[in-house]
Chain A
Amino acid sequence: MADGADADGAEADGADLLRADRLLVGYGGTSVCAPVTLGLAPGRSLAVVGTNGAGKSTLLLTLAGLLPPIAGSVDFDGEPVDERRAGFRRAVATVLDDDAFFAALTGREHLLLTARGHGVTGADDAVAAEVEAFGLGERIDAVPSRLSSGQRRRLALASAFVRPARLILLDEPERRLDPGMRARLARRLAAQRDTGTAVLFASHDADLVQAVADDVLTVDEHACTLVDAARGAAYLGGL
Chain B
Amino acid sequence: MNGSSVRLTADPAEELAGRDVRRLTRGAAAARAELTILGRAGDVFGHLVTGATVIALLGGSLQSFRTRMPGTTRPLIGPPLPGAVTVLAVSVMALAGVVFVLDRLGPLNATPAAAAWWLPLPAGRRGLLLGQLARTTGVVLAVAIGVAVAPVVALTSHPTPATALIGLGWAAAPTAVVLAVTAVLQTRDRSGLLAPVAGAIAVLTALVVLTLAATTAIVPGALRLPATLAPPTWVEAALGALAVLLLAVAARGLDRISAAQLRGRGAVAGYAAASVLSLDTRDLGRALSGPSRRPRHSRRFAFVTRAWIAGCAADVAVLARDRLRWGQLVLAVGIPELVAHIRATGSVPLAIWAACAAGWLLAAVAVAAPARAANATPAIDRLLPLSTSEVVRTRFVVPLVVLAVVCGLTGLLLGLGAGGAGEWSVIALAGAPSWAAAALRGAYRPDLDWSGELLATPFGPVPVGVVATMLQGIDVGVVGSLPLLLAFLHGGPTPALIAGQLAWSVGLSAIALSGLARRLGRPR
Contact = CB atoms under 8 A, between A and B. Distances in A.
Contact of A126 (B8, B11, B258): B8
Given A68-B260, A119-B14, A121-B9, A133 B3 contact: yes
Given A66-B259, A105-B29, A110-B117, A119 B12 contact: yes
A18 to B, nearest CB: 16
Interface residues of B, number: 47
A163 interface: yes
A109 interface: yes
Contacts of B259: 65-66, 83-84
A133 B10 contact: no
A83 B294 CA distance: 29
Contact of A164 (B8, B25, B120, B125): B8
A30 B29 contact: no
Given A84-B256, A113-B24, A130 B122 contact: no
Question: Chain A CB within 10 Å — which of B12, B29, B122, B259 has the most?
Answer: B122
Given A100-B111, A105-B25, A161 B122 contact: no
Contacts of A163: 8, 10
Given A105-B29, A109-B28, A164-B8, A94 B3 contact: no
A58 interface: no
Contacts of B14: 116, 119-121
Interface in B229-273: 255-260, 263
Interface stretch (A46-54, A70-78, A180-188, A205-213): A180-188
B267 to A, nearest CB: 11
Contacts of A45: none
A119 B291 contact: no
Contact of A134 (B3, B11, B125): B3
Interface string B24-53: 110011001100000000000000000000
B291 A28 contact: yes
Given A89-B120, A191-B4, A117 B21 contact: yes
A104 B24 CA distance: 12
Given A86-B122, A102-B29, A126-B8, A133 B15 contact: no
Nearest to A66: B260
A106 B33 CA distance: 13
B113 A102 contact: yes
B115 A100 contact: yes
A61 to B, nearest CB: 8
Contact of A94 (B6, B7, B32, B120): B120
Interface of B: 1-16, 21, 24-25, 28-29, 32-33, 111-117, 119-125, 255-260, 263, 291, 293-294
Interface of A: 28, 30, 61, 65-68, 83-84, 86-87, 89-90, 93-94, 98, 100-106, 109-110, 113-114, 116-121, 125-126, 129-130, 132-134, 143, 156, 159, 161-164, 184-185, 187-188, 191-192, 195
Given A84-B258, A113-B24, A121-B10, 10 more contacts: A65-B259, A93-B120, A101-B113, A102-B117, A104-B33, A119-B13, A125-B6, A132-B3, A191-B4, A192-B4
